[in-house]
Structure 1
Amino acid sequence: MFFEAKLELLEKEQKSISKLLEDFGNKIELEGEPIALWGKLSNDWVHPRGIVKRVVNEIVEKSDVPSWAWIIPMNYSESDLDTIKELGKRISQFRKLLKAPMENYKHISWC
């Protein structure tokens, strides 16, 4: 099942993604981190309003349309570095969040 379909099932069950992420953060002893990352990702990278805002800000601040905003493949430019660094930071945060449950999984006795 694709991730999007799972999110739709959660919505049908009226389970809040925020509540699930809050519970997950508590379980992996990283309280608040999953929900904080979700907030940043959903506002800046997932919802169309955030993506449009990012593109407009890039154009206003750098007088250039960011390479990542085009549908056709393009080489990244020097002005894309800040955005790439921010995305790298979010990926790093996600890896940290993923590591905690994976470490716990390794220590579960299956016998």
Structure 2
Amino acid sequence: MKYLLAVFAVAIFTAGAGAINCYNCVDCDKPKDSIDCTSLFDTCILTVVNGQKTRTCSTEDLCDLLTPKCDDETQDNCSTCCDTDNCNSAGIVGINFFAVVSVVLISLFFTQQ
């Protein structure tokens, strides 16, 4: 059982090793279209300029250069970046389901020894 949990945890962490998927739209409040970003892009970005929300693929380096960062969904003239599939959806802050499951499984693994 311990080995199965360990293999599952490793699989979760390595599952995202391919290209990231991001929502891709201009002036959209509720994104529908997701694209497979090329290997050059490692981040999804949401920018808000004059109330217009744009979502697409980006790089971590570009995200580091953009300021100010969005603190909440109502802020204007800002950007926010994230690095999980389709994380540039409607909300600024989200919970990564796989990260939560991984933490639970790893804690179970170590408490059953």
**What TM-score results when the alignment is normalised by the length of structure 1?**
0.37
Greater fraction of residues in strand: 2
**What TM-score results when the alignment is normalised by the length of structure 2?**
0.36
Q: Could you say which structure has the greater relative contact order, defined with CA pairs below 8 angstroms and 6 or more residues apart?
A: 2
Rg larger in 1 or in 2?
Answer: 1
Greater fraction of residues in helix: 1
